[in-house]
Structure formats: structure tokens, C-alpha cells
Amino acid sequence: MYVEPLLDNTGIVTPSISAMERIRTRTARVGVVGLGYVGLPLAVALGDAGFDVVGADLDQSKLDALKEGRSPLDCIADSSIGGLIDAGRFEVTTDAAHLNSPDIILICVPTPLNQGEPDQRFVMEAAESLIPQIRPGMIVVLESTVIPDTTERMLVPVLEASGYKAEVDFFVGFSPERVDPSSGLDVVDVPKLVSGIGPQSAALVEELYRNIVRTVVPASSPRVAEFTKLLENTFRDVNIALVNELAQVARDMGVDIWEAIDLAATKPYGYTPFYPGPGVGGHCIPVDPVYLAWRAEVAGKPLSMLQDARRVNDSMPGFVADRVAELLDGDLAGKKILVIGAAFKKDIEDARNSASVDVMDRFVERGAEVLYHDPYCPSVKTATRTLVSVPDLIPELERADCVVICTDHSSYDWEEVLGSSRLIFDTRNVLASFVNDEAKVHRL
Ligand SMILES: NC(=O)c1ccc[n+]([C@@H]2O[C@H](COP(=O)([O-])OP(=O)(O)OC[C@H]3O[C@@H](n4cnc5c(N)ncnc54)[C@H](O)[C@@H]3O)[C@@H](O)[C@H]2O)c1
């Protein structure tokens, strides 16, 4: 068994001193498993902080780009990758075995839904691939969003198949990623929740992130941190559902929902504005509440409000299709509809679970001819086909029976969109200043 002195020079019990030293002196080698929206920015932040980083990903095309110093993500500049590679602080591999037992391993693999259920297969597969890598003094941190208790009940037993004991020989923690790719906030600027399965792991994980991000917030256990991550995104999903449901009735009451939200937002306490839209997309907000609901269901306490919120948000693409059909004399068959924006939110290239794509599906189901334009997403997979973004926006705006704004990328010239279109349905309220043209511009 691995034994390290547990007293530092102040005589206070500390976790593995050499592991701590390797973090403080930034001589620890860090392996990042999964180089996506979470793992890659984290790998760059670690490299920028002076750590040597080795990244593993199963996606060969991603690795090929990285090896050539090209970033596969818009939110990370090529120069950030190239700079780290040139400095010898960043290498990549497809095989976790080639991580060569680094001092620290961060797991950043996807946790999607599979047929509406949480799917933690990627986490478990990544953990299994790490068993031969585990060695005394190593720190393993799970960053993926997971069902509460996953770190302690599922990850630790898998890693202990290495023959080493967690919190004794090696250390394990959970630190959820809260990055928001289009917010402009860098990973180092977002306060980081940190936790460990015991006091040694907790202290090491906290110290690690203190060396990378500006603010570290300790949680008392991985379970609390896992729950908190789900709470944050469920809060968002439920509040968006509230305004989406209100948006579905406000118009019938002669109320402009956008105006009502702006008015409510003038209240200096007790109110946070959320805005309606064509639905809720991405890898987190429509997914994480399902993880929480699943766990509650197992505990015999179904979360009905949360399930209702999911139902309301999932109904929005159909509601958008209904409103557009109303504008086109009740029938979408044969109508040419141009959807602006396919990404799930503005200024990113991510179309995972995008509500915009669901909206396109609803139009197709009703017999419309659907085209889309998105400067960030050259192609998207709908339920029935792969669509390619139209190359020239203006002629398509002119030809469309209705233009439906689903994603409000900042790069669009909205005045130009307005000037070239015959009829617009705006789900994002980007044309707020043009609503006096009521015959042409209709809002959610
Ligand atoms: N995208 C976000 O904005 C965001 C924000 C906060 C939290 N999260 C959470 O972080 C986790 C990762 O999300 P993401 O958006 O980065 O996913 P992603 O799909 O962008 O990236 C994950 C990467 O992991 C790779 N991968 C899968 N299994 C692997 C394995 N066994 N070994 C090596 N690589 C493997 C995939 O090829 C992929 O490149 C998820 O749990 C997600 O919910 C995401």
C-alpha cells in the first residue's frame, strides 16, 4: 500500500503531501479524458496554468485537428492549442492506455439521454479504461454531469478494481463543469464546485482547481455537488418552461409576453427574468432534469413539476409550427419556410438537441418545404434527413413564404433580414424594435 507522510510542516494533517506539492508546483501531469466542450477548454486552462496535459478522445478527427494545432471548437482559438503544443505542454491520444499514468485524471465524457433515460455508459467505459492507469498518489476527478451518488457508488468501485483503495492509495473527487460556451466567460472565470470522497481527496481536488480557476467553492461531498449541478440546470429548465407556458396563453389574453417579462424585471428583488423560445436544447438543460427525475423516481418520489416543465418545453416546437401555420392560412403543405439558426443557442456551432431542428421537423411533418441558414452549422440531421445550410441568405429570404427566426446569432443583420422577407415569425424577440410592422413581423 502507498503511504505518504500526512503531516505538513505546520503539523496539520494534510493529504498526500507529494501529490499536493505536485499541484502547487504545477509539476503534476494531467490527463483529460474527453476533449469536447468541457474537456478541451479545461485542458487549455490547465496548460495555460503551467501543467503538462495529455488529452484522450475516441474521435480521431478531433485528435487530427488538435495535432495540427487546429481547434475543433469555435470557443477555443487555434493559437491556444498551437501555443501549448509548441511549448510541449499538450499532447493527445485516442487510447487512455497512452495517458501513461499521469498524476491527475479528469473525466469529461458525455452523459446524454438514451430513449429518454440517463445514459452514463460513457463514464463507466472511461472509468474501466482507466483501471490499468491507477497508481498510488493519483487523483481522479469526474467532471461529467451525473446522477447523484455516481462518484461514490459507481466510479470508485470501478477504479478500485485496480487493486488500490480510494482515499487511501489514490484520491477521487467530483467537480461539475458549469461553463457556458457562448457566454464569453472563460472556464477559469466560472466559480468551480469541488468535492472529494474523503478529507484527503477533498483537499487535493480543492487545491488542484485553486491552481486553475479564480474561485473555488467546496461542497461537503460529491453527492451534494452532483445534486447541485442538476439543481442549477433544472432551475433553468423549469423557469423557461414557466415563461414558455405563459407565452402560449398571453397572446389570447391580449398581452405581449416580452413586455410583461421586461416589466416584471424592473422589480428589484424576488424575480429573475427568463425568456420564451422555440424550446430548450443543448447537452445540459433538457438532459440534466431527466437525471434528477430518474434518481427521484428510484427513490419513490417522482418530481412532477420537473416532468411538467420538460413536457411544456418539448411542446414549444409544435406551438411554433401552429403559430406559423396560422399565419399561412392554416396550412403548411407546400409552403416554403426558411429557418434562421440551427444551433441550440446564439453564437455557437452546437446543434445537439436543438429546438430549432425540432421546429424544422414539425414543419416537414406538415408538408412544408424547409430550408435553413446558420453561419455556424453547415449541416444538421433532422428526424428524416440531413439538411445543409443555404449558402446565400438574401435570395432565400425573398423566396420564403415565411422566415422563422429560431437562433439569434449576433452576426445576422436583422434589418437586412427584415427588409428581404415577406413574413417573419420571431421566436427570440430580436426584431423587437421593428414590431410596428405588425403585418410582417410576428413574435412568439
Ligand atoms: N457542453 C457544455 O456546455 C457542458 C457544460 C457543463 C457540463 N457539461 C457536461 O460535461 C460532460 C461532457 O460534455 P461535453 O459537452 O464536453 O461533451 P462532448 O460530446 O462535447 O465531448 C465529450 C468527448 O468525450 C469523448 N469520449 C467519449 N467517451 C470517451 C472515452 N471513453 N475516452 C475518451 N474520450 C471519450 C467524445 O468523443 C467527445 O469528444 C457531460 O456530462 C455534460 O453534461 C457540458
pLDDT digits (tens, 9 = 90+) for 379-400: 999 999 999 999 999 999 999 9
Q: Which residue has the cell 424592473?
A: 266
Mean pLDDT within 139-151? 98
Cell of 367: 408538408
Q: Which residue has the cell 446543434?
A: 351
pLDDT at 434: 73
Mean pLDDT within 408-420? 96
In ligand 1, which atom is closest to the CA atom of 146?
41
Residue 14 predicted with pLDDT over 60: no
pLDDT tier, 158 (very low <50, low <70, confident <90, very high otherwise): very high
With b for 16 or more beta-carbon neighbours within 10 A and e for fewer, the 87-119 pattern comes to eebbebeeebeebeebbbbbbbbbbebeeeebb
177 C-beta closer than 6 A to ligand 1: yes
Residue 138 predicted with pLDDT over 50: yes
pLDDT tier, 438 (very low <50, low <70, confident <90, very high otherwise): confident
Q: Provide the β-strand partners of residue 50.
A: none
Q: Strands 171-174, 139-142: parallel, antiparallel or unpaired by DSSP? A: parallel
99 C-beta closer than 6 A to ligand 1: no
Whose Cα sits closest to atom 25 in ligand 1? 34
In ligand 1, which atom is closest to the CA atom of 145?
41
- What whole-number distance in Å separates Cα of residue 294 and Cα of residue 285? 15
Cell of 58: 475516441
Mind giving me the DSSP string for 26-75? T--EEEEE--STTHHHHHHHHHHTT-EEEEE-S-HHHHHHHHTT--SSTT
Mean pLDDT within 180-189? 85
The CATH number of the domain covering residues in 232-443: 3.40.50.720
- What whole-number distance in Å separates Cα of residue 31 and Cα of residue 28? 10
pLDDT tier, 292 (very low <50, low <70, confident <90, very high otherwise): very high
Do residues 201 and 173 make contact, with C-beta atoms less than 8 angstroms apart? yes
- What whole-number distance in Å separates Cα of residue 368 and Cα of residue 418? 22
Residue 8 predicted with pLDDT over 50: no
Do residues 229 and 288 make contact, with C-beta atoms less than 8 angstroms apart? yes
Strand order in the sheet with 29-33: 90-93, 52-56, 29-33, 104-107, 139-142, 171-174, 192-196, 216-218
Phi, psi of 142 (to 5 degrees): -90, 125
Whose Cα sits closest to atom 23 in ligand 1? 34
pLDDT digits (tens, 9 = 90+) for 201-223: 999 999 999 999 999 999 999 99
pLDDT tier, 5 (very low <50, low <70, confident <90, very high otherwise): very low
Q: Which residue has the cell 475543433?
A: 72
In ligand 1, which atom is closest to the CA atom of 129?
31
pLDDT tier, 433 (very low <50, low <70, confident <90, very high otherwise): confident
In ligand 1, which atom is closest to the CA atom of 122?
28
Residue 294 predicted with pLDDT over 80: yes
Ligand 1 center from residue 234 Cα (angstroms): 19
From 283, 290, 292, mutation site for ligand 1 pocket: most ligand atoms within 8 A of C-beta: 283
pLDDT digits (tens, 9 = 90+) for 257-287: 999 999 999 999 999 999 999 999 999 999 9
Do residues 203 and 194 make contact, with C-beta atoms less than 8 angstroms apart? no
Residues carrying an active site annotation: 284
193 C-beta closer than 6 A to ligand 1: no
Mean pLDDT within 159-164? 98
pLDDT at 444: 95
Do residues 29 and 56 make contact, with C-beta atoms less than 8 angstroms apart? no
Percentage of the chain lying above the pLDDT 90 cut: 90
Residue 164 predicted with pLDDT over 50: yes
Ligand 1 center from residue 270 Cα (angstroms): 35
From 38, 128, 233, mutation site for ligand 1 pocket: most ligand atoms within 8 A of C-beta: 38
pLDDT tier, 9 (very low <50, low <70, confident <90, very high otherwise): very low
Q: Exposed, middle or buried: residue 420 (CB in 10 Å: 0-12, 13-18, 19+)? A: middle
More confident: 173 or 179: 173
Do residues 384 and 364 make contact, with C-beta atoms less than 8 angstroms apart? yes
In ligand 1, which atom is closest to the CA atom of 181?
3
369 C-beta closer than 6 A to ligand 1: no
**What mean pLDDT is reported for the chain?**
94
Superfamily of domain 17-220: NAD(P)-binding Rossmann-like Domain (3.40.50.720)
H or E segment to which residue 195 belongs: strand 192-196
Q: Where do you find CATH 3.40.50.720 in the chain? A: 17-220, 232-443
From 37, 76, 174, mutation site for ligand 1 pocket: most ligand atoms within 8 A of C-beta: 37
Ligand 1 center from residue 424 Cα (angstroms): 36
pLDDT tier, 15 (very low <50, low <70, confident <90, very high otherwise): low
> Alpha helix locations (H) across 331-413?
355-365, 393-399
In SS3 terms, 82-134 reads as HHHHHCCCEEEECCHHHHCCCCEEEECCCCCEECCEECCHHHHHHHHHHHHHC
Among candidates 233, 47, 146, which has minimal Cα distance to 126? Answer: 146
pLDDT digits (tens, 9 = 90+) for 102-132: 999 999 999 999 999 999 999 999 999 999 9
Amino acid identity of 267? K
Mean pLDDT within 173-179? 96
38 C-beta closer than 6 A to ligand 1: yes
pLDDT digits (tens, 9 = 90+) for 328-346: 999 999 999 999 999 999 9
Q: Secondary structure of the chain: what % helix, strand, coil (to 5)?
A: 40, 15, 45
Phi, psi of 423 (to 5 degrees): -150, 135
Cell of 100: 501513461
Do residues 218 and 252 make contact, with C-beta atoms less than 8 angstroms apart? no
pLDDT digits (tens, 9 = 90+) for 363-384: 999 999 999 999 999 999 999 9
Phi, psi of 97 (to 5 degrees): -60, -30
pLDDT at 74: 83
